[in-house]
Amino acid sequence: MRLLAAALIVLASAAAARAETMITSLSTHRLQITSQFVGSEIVLFGAIERDAQTVSRAGGYDLAVVVRGPRAMVTTRSKSRVFGIWMNTDAREFVEVPSFYALLANKPAADLADLELRRRQQIGIDAVTVVTPRPGTNPGATPAFRDAFLRINRARGLYRENPTGVTFLTPSLFRANIPVVPNTPVGAFDVDIYLMSGGVVLARETTNFEVTKTGFEAFVANSARDHGLFYGLAAAALALVTGWAASVVFRRD
């Protein structure tokens, strides 16, 4: 029994030695934005390394780059007519969902692997898991709220897929342009790179970058976060002064 266990360990070590590996790098790990920010891109470069004994892949390699923004709690509401007035009649809270999601690949998500594997790895918008702790009085409607959540974020450009977002420069060198949209949230972004072939994940690498505000906008945001009381008082005082100034300017004698 011990000999069998030792043999299995040796075989596993040999398989790991022959497995493909990746080396990846981002053009920057910190992107500073201002109020005039109109969008940008972060370039991901990578190389696939193979051991001399690694078997050749008849179908070639596929790559999926999954970018997820800071996690947040999001509420999706449904409106209905009540006595002729449109009102919020139902809602779902989705917890720990990515505020930004992007899939960059060399082919459509459905062609990379089956849905079960993609759900485990969160590859593709249709595979994104959203969890609600309170399904409400109508749990059967939750899938419709999930679809609405995904549809709204796609319309805002915060959830996106690009089946041509990864370019193979050579059979082992690749690059991808990660979009940073104008309404992107600030915070830490996780980047997962999956090397695949025949619907199987061969290797995975993880990196990250941060989006931060700079200039006067950063000063305001930091003040609101770190000195909430003084920020509130200053905002109230500014509103009073602005109202008084407007009354003086537009006063009719």
Q: Are residues 79 and 190 in the same domain?
A: yes
248 and 194 within one domain? no
Instruction: Tell whether 204 and 235 lie within a shared domain.
Output: no
**CA-based diameter of the chain, in Å?**
102
- Rounded Cα distance between 253 and 144, Å, is 58
- Same domain? For 230 and 206 the reply is no
Do residue 113 and residue 142 come from a single domain? yes
Owning domain of residue 250: 215-253
Please report whether residue 48 resides in a domain.
yes
- Summarize pLDDT for 186-238 with one digit per residue, the tens: 999 999 999 999 999 999 999 999 999 875 555 555 555 565 665 566 667 66
Q: Are residues 157 and 242 in the same domain?
A: no
184 domain-assigned? yes
CATH number, domain with residue 89: 2.60.40.1930
Tally of domains in the chain: 2
What was the pLDDT predicted at 133?
A: 72
Q: Which residues, including other chains, have CB under 8 Å from residue 10's CB and lie 6 or more apart?
A: none
Same domain, 91 and 189: yes
Residues 25 and 51 in one domain: yes
Establish if 1 belongs to a structural domain: no
Annotate 193-225 with b (16+ C-beta within 10 A) or e (fewer). bbbbeeeebbeebeeebebebeeeebeeeeeee
Around 140, how many Cα atoms within 13 Å sit in the side-chain half-sphere?
0
Q: For residue 70, with 0-12 CB atoms within 10 Å meaning exposed, 13-18 middle and 19 or more buried, which class applies?
A: middle
The reply to whether 178 and 248 lie within a common domain is no
Same domain? For 156 and 31 the reply is yes
For the chain, give the DSSP string: -HHHHHHHHHHHHHHHHHS-EEEEEES-SEEEE-TT---EEEEEEEEEE--TTPPP-TT--EEEEEEE--EEEEEEEEEEEETTEEEEEEEEEEEEEESSEEEEESS-HHHHS-HHHHHHHT-SGGG---B-S--TT-GGGHHHHHHHHHHHHHHTTSEEEETT-EEESSSSEEEEEEEE-TTPPPEEEEEEEEEEETTEEEEEEEEEEEEEE-THHHHHHHHHHH-HHHHHHHHHHHHHHHHHHHHHHT---
Residue 6 within a domain = no
Please indicate, yes or no, whether residues 178 and 63 belong to a single structural domain of this protein. yes
pLDDT at 213: 83
Whole-number pLDDT of residue 251:
66
- Domain assignment of residue 133, yes or no: yes
Regions of the chain short of the pLDDT cut 70: 1-18, 52-55, 88, 134-138, 215-235, 237-238, 241, 244-246, 248-249, 251-253
Question: What residues form DSSP beta bridges with 46?
Answer: 24, 174
